């Protein structure tokens, strides 16, 4: 079973980046990204890589981000 933890602060995002945790992204209560790894972030944008050439840029204010941990 997976544990979801919401990423809201810079230290939350930095921990997910350092540990290369999988991330889920929601926008308007819909999953728009699942299982990608956080590449970088700033106050406006979060960059997630899902595959070798699949890189997505998400607006930090428009989306909700959750780290996905396995038990």
Mean pLDDT of all residues belonging to the chain? 91
Sorted by where each begins, the domain ranges of the chain are: 2-70
In this structure, the number of other CB atoms found within 10 A of the CB of residue 65 comes to 22
Which stretch of DSSP H or E encloses residue 35?
strand 30-41
Average pLDDT, integer, range 14-19: 94
Confidence of residue 4 (pLDDT cuts 50, 70, 90): confident
Provide the pLDDT for residue 9.
95
In sequence order, what DSSP letters do the residues of 1-57 get, joined into one string?
-EEEEEE-SHHHHHHHHHHT-EEEEEETTEEEEEEEEEEEE-SSEEEEE-SSS-EEE
Model-wide pTM > 0.95: no
Mention the CATH class of domain 2-70.
mainly beta
Provide the pLDDT for residue 3.
72
Provide the pLDDT for residue 17.
94
């Amino acid at each position: 079973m997976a544990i979801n933890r919401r990423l809201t602060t810079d230290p939350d995002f930095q921990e997910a980046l350092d540990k290369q945790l999988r991330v889920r992204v929601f926008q308007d209560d819909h999953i728009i990204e699942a299982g990608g790894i956080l590449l970088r972030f700033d106050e406006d944008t979060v960059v997630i890589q899902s595959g070798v050439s699949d890189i997505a840029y998400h607006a930090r204010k428009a989306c909700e981000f959750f780290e996905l941990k396995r038990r």
